[in-house]
Amino acid sequence: MSGSGSKEEPLTVAGCRFWQFPTFADQRGYLTVADFATMSFPVRRVFYISQVPEGQTRANHAQRESKELLLAITGTVSVLIDDGRNRQSIVLWRRNVGLLIAPKTLCSLSHFSKDAVLAVFASHPYDVADQVGDYDEFLSISVGNSQRL
Amino acid sequence: MSGSGSKEEPLTVAGCRFWQFPTFADQRGYLTVADFATMSFPVRRVFYISQVPEGQTRANHAQRESKELLLAITGTVSVLIDDGRNRQSIVLWRRNVGLLIAPKTLCSLSHFSKDAVLAVFASHPYDVADQVGDYDEFLSISVGNSQRL
């Protein structure tokens, strides 16, 4: 099993953190594992975002309840996260380091590289009612400084 | 939701079949969903195989119990499947069509394109004792003409 040696940028957004996926490398290539028994929440689904045209953004909302774990399977993606108090932009590019997004965190995805495929592991079924896109409404539910994951 | 219009090659290997993942396409790109509540087996883990050098093969074994669903997230991968009676080679390249592999099916992965990332959804935790790599032993457990999934 091989990890990345260097440190990630410190996260200041409440409840969000990096997640290291086990990776096994040998002469046959790389194998990265998402074993749901070891993850920090029960994974109900995973979806893959790809072929996002230049200039487009995705997500742009918080989830009331759902936790998500983002992994750039290939390419690079920018993730803006905001807890109502702190805001931070993270570039995902490592094949074995994901970003855990706490509930009630505003998340915006942008700057997808042409080859980018973003995997999103989610704790809940899809429910548009769980999404909060309006910023004022988001601020009303955000808890800024609490630890949520 | 958009599917591929055309037919896949008919599968002759017992218990194996194609699996269509819902895909949502709009001006912001593509979103392909693996919702575990709708899949044909409980998904315990998913692993990603990438950067496989030319000429290398992977898997080359059957699983006694585990079911697997293969999806070429990007690029192309050849999958040789064998139930002890029928043998077939399938090229995976569609972003929304996976291949369900029944237990007791010999499976060999090869011809990974340079950009290939293969997702493997699995029904069981990793267990090397579940794998059968010896062909004679495989034949002794294969059931050839039964429907297993």
Interface contact A51-B30, CB threshold 8 A: yes
CB A41 within 8 A of CB A102: no
The chain B residues in contact with chain A (CB within 8 A) are 27-37, 43-53, 56-58, 73-74, 95, 112, 115, 117, 125-126
pTM of structure:
0.90
Interface contact A48-B73, CB threshold 8 A: yes
Chain B residue with the nearest C-alpha to that of A126 = B35
> How do the pLDDT tens digits run along chain A, 149 residues long?
334 444 567 899 999 999 999 999 999 999 999 999 999 999 999 999 999 999 999 999 999 999 999 999 999 999 999 999 999 999 999 999 999 999 999 999 999 999 999 999 999 999 999 999 999 999 999 876 444 44
Predicted confidence (pLDDT) per residue in B48-87, tens digit: 999 999 999 999 999 999 999 999 999 999 999 999 999 9
Strand partners, B6: none
Distance CA B56, CA B99 (A): 20
Distance CA B3, CA B132 (A): 35
Q: What is the CA radius of gyration of chain A?
A: 15
ipTM rounded to 2 decimals: 0.89
B148/chain A closest Cα distance in angstroms: 24
Q: Does position B120 have pLDDT exceeding 60, yes or no?
A: yes
Quickly count: other Cβ atoms within 10 Å of residue A19's Cβ. Answer: 17
CA-based nearest residue to B1, from B32, B36, B42: B32
Interface contact A53-B115, CB threshold 8 A: no
Which amino acid makes up residue A46? V
Interface contact B37-A44, CB threshold 8 A: yes
Strand partners, B117: B50, B74
CB A14 within 8 A of CB A145: yes
